[in-house]
């Protein structure tokens, strides 16, 4: 399916959010590791396991044709050996809509597979009463 390998987990994350914002299904799936155990939890949704379920969920999201602007805030990174975990806030605004953005607390997990990084898990949870601005990015934490 996907052939992209990213040299750093941050590159995979950037590709994930660019694909999300553009509603580009092929680019979205190029970020995911080719593994039956990958999983995704959309805000308020059930856990989806495997590439087929994940692809179908993103296809449905993108089929709505919503133009979105996504700002990432409060990024925290933990990295150890072959795995990296990023937690962050997604501030999602539908283009043309007024009002406060929807805020999602997200956890993204990346695995170094064959010399490059790919996503193995994405979990998003809605945040009630989120601050207008989350903290700025923190310095990545490296585990040895």
For 21-52, how does the pLDDT look when each residue is reduced to its tens digit (9 = 90+)? Answer: 999 999 999 999 999 999 999 999 999 999 99
Ordered strands of the 141-143 beta sheet? 47-49, 39-41, 116-126, 102-113, 83-94, 68-80, 141-143
Q: pTM of this prediction? A: 0.86
84 vs 142, residue with greater confidence: 84
Provide the pLDDT for residue 12. Answer: 97
Lowest mean pLDDT, pick from 12-16, 97-101, 111-115: 97-101
Considering all CA atoms of the chain, what is the largest pairwise distance in Å, rounded to the nearest integer? 46
pLDDT at 130: 67
Which residue ranges form the domains of the chain, and what is each CATH number? Answer: 9-127 (3.10.450.50)
């Amino acid at each position: 399916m996907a052939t992209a390998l990213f040299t750093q987990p941050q590159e995979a994350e950037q590709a994930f959010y660019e694909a999300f914002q553009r509603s580009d299904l092929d680019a979205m799936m190029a970020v995911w590791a080719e593994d039956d155990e990958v999983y995704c939890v959309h805000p308020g949704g059930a856990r989806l396991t495997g590439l087929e379920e994940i692809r179908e969920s993103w296809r449905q999201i993108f089929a709505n044709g919503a133009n979105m602007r996504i700002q990432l805030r409060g990024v925290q990174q933990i990295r150890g050996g072959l795995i990296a975990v990023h937690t962050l806030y997604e501030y999602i605004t539908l283009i043309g809509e007024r009002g406060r953005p929807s805020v999602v607390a997200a956890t993204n997990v990346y695995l170094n597979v064959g010399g490059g990084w790919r996503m193995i898990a994405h979990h998003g949870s809605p945040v009630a009463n989120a601050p207008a601005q989350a903290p700025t990015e923190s310095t990545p934490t490296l585990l040895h």
